[in-house]
A and B are shown apart, each in its own frame.
Chain A
Amino acid sequence: AQRVTQPEKLLSVFKGAPVELKCNYSYSGSPELFWYVQYSRQRLQLLLRHISRESIKGFTADLNKGETSFHLKKPFAQEEDSAMYYCALKTGGTSYGKLTFGQGTILTVHP
């Protein structure tokens, strides 16, 4: 069965410092990976997806199939990046809304 692991429940950095939120997955097939974000008092929303190879709000994530990882990175963190971040996995042959989520990482960016 598929699984997503986010090893850090809490991550604190100072403004301007680099940040990396770790995500590892377990799935024998061809995965699609996503990062979702939930800002304070807001809904869960899509941040980025590996298939698009995009950079959103300065964040990037590269799928590493050898290490089964999809870490989220930003070179210079901003205070507005403080939020809960979830890594999510879609397995082959299923709807794009059927996702397996990790437990989430709370990112706090200090001024």
Chain B
Amino acid sequence: GNSVTQMEGPVTLSEEAFLTINCTYTATGYPSLFWYVQYPGEGLQLLLKATKADDKGSNKGFEATYRKETTSFHLEKGSVQVSDSAVYFCALLSTQGAQKLVFGQGTRLTINP
């Protein structure tokens, strides 16, 4: 079946540090891939997406590239801010069968000033 695996958290960084949160997936066919973010006290919101191999999704300084050969979709940001502190979820949407989002376990990110 489809599954998503994210790096273990929590992750703690200083402001302006470089961020990478790893995400790998297992899926049949060619899924679309997403990063969702959950700020404290709020629901999840879509951060970025990529729908085919080699696509790069980007938003708010975050980027992720759909790598079919390594089945990965790692999230990166060059210089994090305190306001980026949140829980980040990698997810896939299968293109086969019932279309449902499958989420990874989430990675809690804390940025210290």
Do A and B bind?
no
B interface, CB within 8 angstroms of A? none
